[in-house]
Amino acid sequence: MPIRPIEIMEKHFYDPNKDGLIAVAQLESEVCTEGEADTKVSVHKSDASAHHAKTGHNEVYGLLTAGLAADRPAASIAGRFYFSTDTLILQRDNGTAWDEIARGETTIRLAQLSEKAHSSLTGIGASDHHIKTTSFADITDRAGVSKLNWGAGKLLKGAGAGVDPTEIDVPAGATIVRKTADEIVNNSTTLQNDDHLLLSAGANETWFLEFFLLNSSVTTTPSITLCIIAPSGADGKWMALRQTNIVAAESIGSAIGFGSPVLAYIPYWLSAVVRIGATAGNIQLQWAQNTATAEDTKLLMGSCLIAHKIA
């Protein structure tokens, strides 16, 4: 059974064997069978006058061609593109020259930055580099010991030109202890450890300490006795100041008793230097009433200890 005739109007055909260039044929409008249509197409394909006569490659606007950089044609047709597969550079013909549009090797170039010579980078030569004097990893002292790795908790201290740096301890900040509640002694001259004002000291350390004490009583009768103690084998001196009273330096562990103050509420300032021996332990404030009195004598919240380890 013959197939139904079809109408062909301005049908466009191309031959993929013609280097990708489009060949266009315009047929007159008519009704024909499928066989007749095939015959007309065959005739069109064999008619050289119906085709563009190709003069060379890369002669169509917007065409992208790929190949070696050395095979790129001379610039002459504005708008066409060329990708060099060896240099990974995409260029566009502006009619007189090839403009670089993009580089496909972005990640490759980043990886190549790790090369010391950067020889793979475009436009980078030997004169573009600083000559290395020494590697960071090669920094050593005069004895050849690496100075990139020093003791934990240490600093390097410079000793001047031509002299090796030495390791030192990181300077410690002040130790601050604050009294967080009032403390009471009533009718007792027996020294007791303060509940808050103490610090832990290591063997063979030396500490400078300052105490600021807020003392109150109902009357001026009981006053206060103060003492600073330290572990066995420690020594040092301390002194105290109260309003018009300056007490001469006393040895650590020796108490200072104050007579009746002018006011029932009065501050005290203590200063001490304590050298710890082979036995570590606490440096501790002790206190009591100077005269046993049946009333509350207090060291008040906010009294404090500020200490610096100096050796």
Q: Inform me whether the pLDDT recorded for 200 exceeds 90.
A: yes
The predicted-structure confidence for 268-300, as pLDDT tens digits, reads as follows 999 999 999 999 999 999 999 999 999 999 999
Q: Inform me whether the pLDDT recorded for 176 exceeds 90.
A: yes
The predicted model scores a pTM of 0.49
DSSP string, the chain: -PPPPEEE-S-----TTSTT------PPPEEE-HHHHHHHHHHHHH-GGGS----SSS-STT-EEEE-GGGPPPS-STT-EEEETTTTEEEEE-SSSEEEEEETTHHHHHHHTTSSS-TTSTT--GGGSPPPS--GGG-B-TTS-BSSS--TTEEEE---TTS--EEEEPPP--EEEE--S-EEEES--S-EEEEEEEEEE-TT-EEEEEEEEEEEESSSSS-EEEEEE--TT-EEEEEEEETTEEEEEEETT--EEE---SSSEEEEEEEEEEE--SS-EEEEEEEE-SS--SSEEEEPTT-EEEEEE--
From 270, 281, 182, select the one nearest 230 (Cα to Cα).
281
Residue 154 confidence class, pLDDT cut points 50, 70, 90: confident
Residues 6+ apart with CB under 8 A from 4: none
Q: What value does the mean pLDDT take over residues 184-200?
A: 97
Q: What is the pLDDT of residue 273?
A: 96
Which carries the bigger pLDDT value, residue 18 or residue 306? 306
Task: Record the tokens describing residue 308, joined without a space.
Answer: 């610096």
How far is it, in rounded angstroms, from Cα 10 to Cα 140? 85
What are the beta bridge partners of residue 199?
283
Residue 8 confidence class, pLDDT cut points 50, 70, 90: very low
Q: Does domain 175-309 have CATH number 2.60.120.760?
A: yes
Q: What value does the mean pLDDT take over residues 66-91?
A: 87
Q: Inform me whether the pLDDT recorded for 147 exceeds 80.
A: no
The predicted-structure confidence for 79-130, as pLDDT tens digits, reads as follows 888 888 888 888 889 999 999 887 776 545 555 555 555 565 566 666 666 6
Residue 262 confidence class, pLDDT cut points 50, 70, 90: low
Q: Please check whether residue 82 is in contact with residue 93, taking contact to mean a CB–CB distance below 8 angstroms.
A: yes
When mean pLDDT is compared across 36-40, 76-80, 185-189, 284-288, the lowest value belongs to: 36-40
What is the residue-averaged pLDDT of the chain?
77
User: Domain coordinates of the chain in residue numbers?
Assistant: 6-50, 175-309
When mean pLDDT is compared across 38-52, 83-97, 155-169, 197-211, the lowest value belongs to: 38-52
